[in-house]
Amino acid sequence: MKPGNQGINSPSDIILVEAMKHNLRSPYYVIFDRYENKLRVFQLVGTRYQAVELVEPKFWFPELELGVGVWSGKYQDTEGLWLRWYNQDGDWIPTFAERAEQEKQRADKLAEKLRALGVNLDDI
């Protein structure tokens, strides 16, 4: 360990130190350690970053009215833990693939109703 790097034990610590070294002053840093499956959030308070105590692996950004959290599921054919945005109701914001699937289901349901009314969809 280099002198002055005491307490820096993980890649996420290195990222935070680099950010502070370059004085980026982002209001927040969100780091997900995939080896420990741990979400860490740091908030800029004055000139220093302080760790935010998380009760669950989620964090709400009041200024953005948007949250980020750890979601367990399948994304792009890979099962695992992923960072994902959520809305003010706590619902995960759908991915593009999920939105496309929702739209397809809506269109299929509408087509079924039209066929039940005797509408030939090929004539539309």
Q: What is the Rg, in whole angstroms, of the alpha carbon atoms belonging to the chain?
A: 22
- Is 116 within a domain? yes
What is the rounded CA–CA span in Å between residue 88 and residue 23? Answer: 31
- Is 9 within a domain? no
What is the three-class DSSP state of 50?
strand
Alpha-helix residue ranges (DSSP H) falling in 5-122 = 11-21, 96-116
What is the rounded CA–CA span in Å between residue 91 and residue 26? Answer: 26
Residue with tokens 């960072």: 83
- Is 83 within a domain? no
- Is 78 within a domain? no
What is the three-class DSSP state of 43?
strand
Q: How many domains does the chain have?
A: 1
Q: Report the pLDDT value the prediction gives residue 121, as an integer from 0 to 100.
A: 82
Mean pLDDT of the chain: 86
Q: Report the pLDDT value the prediction gives residue 123, as an integer from 0 to 100.
A: 81
In 3D, which of 63, 58, 18 has the Cα closest to residue 38?
Answer: 58
Phi, psi for residue 28 in degrees, rounded to 5: -140, 150
Q: State which residues form the domain around 117.
A: 94-124
Instruction: Kindly report, residue by residue over 14-70, the tens digit of the pLDDT.
Output: 776 776 666 678 899 899 988 889 999 999 999 888 999 999 999 999 999 999 999
Q: Report the pLDDT value the prediction gives residue 38, as an integer from 0 to 100.
A: 92
- Is 112 within a domain? yes
Q: Report the pLDDT value the prediction gives residue 3, as an integer from 0 to 100.
A: 40
